[in-house]
Amino acid sequence: MIRTMAFPGLLNINKCNRPAFTRLFSDDKTKNPHPIRRTLELLTNDMRKVKKFFTPSKEKHEEILEESQEQISYGNEFQTHCDVLVIGGEGVGASTAYWLKKKARQGLNVVVVERDLPHFNKACLTLPVGGLHQQFLLPENIEMALYGAEFLRNSKEKLCVDVKFDPHGFLTLASEENAETLRSMSQVQNEFGARTQILTPERLRLKFPWLNTEDVALGCLALEKHGWFDSNNLLSGLRDKAKEFGTHFLKAELIDFEFQSQTDIIVEGGGTTNTYTALDKAIIKMPNGDKRSIKFAICVIAAGTNSERIARLAKIGTGAGILQVPLPIRRRLCHGHIFGTNAINAPGLATPCIIDLNGKYFRRDGLTGNYITGFSSCQDSDSENVPKENHFESTVLPYLTHRMKTFSKPHVTETWESSYEYNVFDENGIIGPHAYYNNLYIATGFSGLGLQLAPAVGRAISELIIDGQFRTIDLTRLGFDRIVVDRPMFEYGLM
């Protein structure tokens, strides 16, 4: 297919500068202040009393804050036009906004639309399961995860938050069937700077006496730059820093797009010639039910489990030609539990996160003898109201009893069920421009790894928008085009 497309110019939005205030008087005090100074101090005290009178109580302040969270744009006026509209304010969306504004500052007007602001109750991003590892097969994922580790290490400097990185590592177990794949993965990981080592069952038993290895052929252990972190702190840090740089976050739901026919652009291919139609406006529904529109130059779909629905609104999967190819994202559930045990020989503080043969995992959680365990569902879930089951007793407990041979029955203190987006095409992230729309970028489908890869993915999308190409990590193979030509990029390291 041959296309000739003129990229639309970015919209410029003028902003009013806030006045700067300067302290006119020093805070130094003397024993015998000047009469004028004494008068000013009295006036200052009076103003403090007035301010205290009009300042709401704590309860009233919390009520006002809760109401303000329902208002548009978290204190910013509604943006009817923007340069870049990001659909989705979770890890990848917040990171994209962060990098765009970090690079361009006032040169770009960026708006993020997210229906679950500010709590993200329906996602797994804010739960205590944030893992960081580079045990992948594809170089692109290894490099993105390595950058994620670097970003987290410097989170205090970059985001002014502590993500509480715990570097106790990851241990992936493989059966006889998958042993050679695990060995090959370790070799690739070390070639790209991710330090991992292969351990035989004998070495595993020496290092972890509590581990049952009777069905394990090999283990891949990684300590350097592997561990877990506070997901909520990272997400909040990305979002708050993006807001500080000038991003407008909007609590709303995207319900439709408006299109604009561009007669100066012709799309040829498939035996037909058509006039190109670009995405022009987003129709959004506010929390109070009002519908508004935002005109944009560029749109980024980073909506997680909601990405496929957003794509269909853009006629992706329902249109003609290339637009017949859908965005292959489904919603899947993950189940998690926090449990404690009084077993004397239970795994200690230096226990890595164990990724088992069947996709289940567990790791130590702090100093109190608690552990986190869980697994992801292998079936798509399109319903928001999935019946709850006692997954711990039926699925998790038998696994724990088998894998930890000295393990006694635990007491569960917390259980949760959350969701993540899953790429049913090849279980790998989709990063880059859409094959038809020249003003649409996609960043989704990370199959549960979105937050640890978010710093690198957001940077990559910002490079495509600002620089016109990938500059740090070449992620071309992970673009939407691979879906169009049916060339999957399978990743065997996904949990």
Domain ranges in the chain?
68-164+228-328+424-495, 165-227+331-422
pLDDT tens digits along 188-234:
999 999 999 999 999 999 999 999 999 999 999 998 899 999 999 99
Q: Domain 68-164+228-328+424-495's class?
A: alpha beta
Question: Percent of the chain at pLDDT above 70?
Answer: 77
Lowest mean pLDDT among 109-123, 135-149, 304-318: 109-123
Q: What is the pLDDT of residue 23?
A: 32
**CA-based end-to-end distance of the chain:** 37
Q: Which residues contact 89 (CB under 8 A, 6 or more apart)?
A: 97, 112, 113, 114, 116, 117, 239, 249
Q: Which residues contact 253 (CB under 8 A, 6 or more apart)?
A: 113, 115, 284, 285
Q: Binning pLDDT at 50, 70 and 90, where does residue 396 land?
A: confident
410 preceded by a cis bond (ω within 30 of 0): no
Q: Which pTM was predicted?
A: 0.81
Distance CA 360, CA 345 (A): 21
For residue 279, the cross-strand partners are: 259
Q: What is the pLDDT of residue 365?
A: 86
Q: What is the pLDDT of residue 476?
A: 97
List the alpha helices (DSSP H) in 246-390.
307-313
Q: What is the pLDDT of residue 385?
A: 47
Q: Binning pLDDT at 50, 70 and 90, where does residue 8 land?
A: very low
Q: Binning pLDDT at 50, 70 and 90, where does residue 378 land?
A: low
- Cβ burial of 469 (10 Å; 0-12, 13-18, 19+) is exposed
**The dihedral of CA 209, 211, 214, 220: what is its sign?**
negative
pLDDT tens digits along 111-136:
999 998 766 554 444 455 678 999 99
Compute, in degrees rounded to 10, the torsion defined by CA atoms 267, 423, 473, 279: 30
Q: Which residues contact 440 (CB under 8 A, 6 or more apart)?
A: 279, 298, 299, 300, 301, 314, 433, 434
Distance CA 233, CA 242 (A): 14
Residue 384 C-alpha from the chain's centroid? 20
Q: What is the pLDDT of residue 377?
A: 67
List the alpha helices (DSSP H) in 154-200.
155-159, 179-191
CATH topology of domain 165-227+331-422: D-Amino Acid Oxidase; Chain A, domain 2 (3.30.9)
Residue 380 token pair: 């798509």
Average pLDDT over residues 342-359: 83
Residue 248 token pair: 């407008």
Lowest mean pLDDT among 128-137, 278-287, 440-449: 128-137
Residue 283 parent element (H or E): strand 272-285
pLDDT at 156 over 80: yes
- E strands of 286-369, at which residues? 291-301, 329-340, 353-355, 361-365
- What are the angstrom distances between the C-alpha of 461 and each of 92, 211, 465, 471? 10, 42, 6, 10
Distance CA 364, CA 356 (A): 15
What is the DSSP secondary-structure string of 59-124?
Answer: HHHHHHHHHHTTSGGGGSPP-SEEEEEEE--SHHHHHHHHHHHHHHGGGS-EEEEETTTTT-TTBS
Q: What is the pLDDT of residue 21?
A: 28
Lowest mean pLDDT among 61-70, 82-91, 171-180, 471-480: 61-70
